[in-house]
Amino acid sequence: MLRRISLLISMVGIVAATLAASAAERFDSAYTKLKLDDCMMTSVPSQEGTDGGSWLCEGYRKIPVSVSEGDLRMFVSFGDNAANEMAASQTLSGFNSVNETLEWRLVESGGRQPFATILRWFVQTGEGGTDQVLIVTRLGLGATCQVARINATRTPDANTMAREIADTRARAFQCGVDDLIRVNMTE
């Protein structure tokens, strides 16, 4: 019994220290534009019309942003190995496109270090309308993947929620292991 109490006290201490460290961290945002006309085209659309092409864009601190389109769906990944990251194969099920403003979440850690992005996507609904979805993507070599999808059309203050999820969940998120966070998503 004493051992369990000691273990519980240790666990509470670890949680408290983690929360205190997180509370001490300062988060910020930087914004870049994602205009495909200003990016380098890396592959041209296919003759069949199923592949709309690929682009390599420059993001915050010149971080590569890979954008591709296939079957009227966009794919966005980040980093020097963007094409091989999990994010390069993640998209929404409905036909979609992306907004031009890309938000980079930064933590003050020996300088402003990017650890996640938030990008607004426009996705066609089955009812013939369009929903807006904020996608939070974790950044990291070998660990770049979508963390959360928030239906901004149906979620009040979706931008604040996306930042909170990025700040509290993205860095510890395990690509391919943890479940994608879905907020008011119908897919």
Residue 152 three-state SS? coil
Closest CA to 137 of 41, 45, 34, 42: 34
Residue with tokens 């979440």: 105
pLDDT of residue 2: 39
Write the DSSP string, 5-28. Answer: HHHHHHHHHHHHHHHHHHHH--EE
Mind listing the pLDDT tens digit of every residue in the chain (187 residues)? 433 333 233 333 333 434 444 557 999 999 999 999 999 999 877 655 556 899 999 999 999 999 999 999 999 999 999 999 999 999 999 999 999 999 999 999 888 999 999 999 999 998 889 999 999 999 999 999 999 999 999 999 999 999 999 999 999 999 999 999 999 998 7
pLDDT of residue 67: 97
**Tokens found for residue 162:** 């996306």
pLDDT of residue 48: 57
Spatial separation of the C-alpha atoms in residues 181 and 187, rounded to whole Å: 12
pLDDT of residue 4: 35
pLDDT of residue 47: 57
